[in-house]
Amino acid sequence: MGRNPGIALSRAQREQLTCFMGDVKDKRGYRAALGVLLRGDGKSAGDAGRQLGVTMKQVFTWCRSFRARGVDGLRMKKQTGRPATQGNKAKEIIPELLKRDPQAFGYLKGRWVLRDISRELKKEGISLHYTSVHRILGDLGIVLKSPKLRAPGSMHKNYHKRAEIRQYKRVSGALKKRALP
């Protein structure tokens, strides 16, 4: 004997949920209402969770909240914690920074890497770890290619390139520290 799939929703409750989905600006609230609607249509919590990218437990939590408080139970509360002031400042500066060539800032590489962006932000007074810079770039929809400092192929092939790369790696730290005029 299995569980009863879904919850019983009246026509008024379905209309409330669809109106809520049209009005809500938070994707988490929208997803919660859709999860309750899917359960109301007879889908199992596992199927609804897979479709929405959440766990079965989360779907049960949404349904429980909806039964207890109605549509207000699905509204997401304001996130707690300190507001992201450094990140918001960085979101304004990073796109302008990426338009410029990294070699103009004294970096030897021809493209930007996370650690270099983090260093330049620190010079602007914004102290962010490079992992935070990666998250901000993702929020902005910017993807950086990661440079590979290696010569493809066997050791006998491209021996000259491998020697150049070893030389670059040995000297690059000293060159970066040199101040540009």
CA-wise closest residue to 49 among 30, 65, 36: 36
Q: What is the pLDDT of residue 155?
A: 55
Provide DSSP, 106-154.
T-SSSS--HHHHHHHHHHTT----HHHHHHHHHHHT--PPPP--S--S-
Q: State both tokens at 69.
A: 């408080």
Domain ranges of the chain: 11-74, 85-173
Distance between CA atoms of 76 and 67, rounded to whole angstroms?
16
Residue that wins the pLDDT comparison between 133 and 110: 133
For the chain, give the mean pLDDT: 83
Q: What is the mean pLDDT of residues 20-38?
A: 90
Supply the pLDDT for residue 170.
75
Does residue 97 or residue 108 have the better pLDDT? 97
**148 or 110, higher pLDDT:** 110
What's the rounded Cα separation, in Å, for the pair 25 and 23? 6
Question: Sorting pLDDT into bands at 50, 70 and 90, what band is 1?
Answer: very low
Q: What percent of the chain is predicted at pLDDT more than 90? A: 43
pLDDT at 76: 82
